[in-house]
Amino acid sequence: MKQKSALETELKLRIPATAPLAARLAAQGFREVLPAQAEQSVLWDREGTLRAQGSALRTRRYAGRTRLTWKGPKVPDALLKIRPELETGVESSEALEAILRALGFEPILRMEKVRAVWEGAGLEVCLDEAPFGCFVELEGEAGAIHAALLSLDLSPASAETRSYPELYVAHGLSGEVP
């Protein structure tokens, strides 16, 4: 995976199904870099301090890898979700979880979805199937995101401003915390 900017800019849209959009992506020259497969994520916090700051700490198991991600507070924007993000790969998920617990962090939310990752037109495009619906995430520069909305015939009216953790909680799917 490419090195990402320390500032994540993305747009998440609700879609009826992922297959038709995958076909449109392929027709426009995007390439699938990771086929659809299960992703397990866990949010961690220490007595609510990260949430109070508008930040998040996540471990993710996907495509045979484990990653640790910190997300900072959101930058105000009418359509896009913009926030600082730092992410790194981790050799041992068990060791990482032990370290987080030793530092006083506890798992607060477990989430699962199926994700496929596509790249093209200066974007990373994630096609997600969650227990509460299908979504596309367009991540990259704001101009590329707006151009993709037009070229892929996606409507900004279907934008989902809530994060996946917010959606899991809203749908009563807080998941068993490990």
Where do the domains of the chain lie, and which CATH numbers do they carry?
8-170 (2.40.320.10)
Closest-CA residue to 72 (of 89, 47, 88, 52)? 52
Closest-CA residue to 81 (of 166, 174, 168)? 166
- Residue-wise pLDDT for 121-148, tens only, equals 999 999 999 999 999 999 999 999 999 9
Strand partners, 125: 118, 138
Cβ(87)–Cβ(8) under 8 Å? no
Distances (CA, A) of 11 to 34, 54, 93, 178: 20, 18, 29, 30
Residue 1 is predicted with a pLDDT of 42
Residue 4 is predicted with a pLDDT of 60
- Whole-model pTM: value is 0.92
pLDDT band at 175 (very low <50, low <70, confident <90, very high): low
pLDDT above 90: residue 61: yes
What average pLDDT does this structure show over 100-113? 97
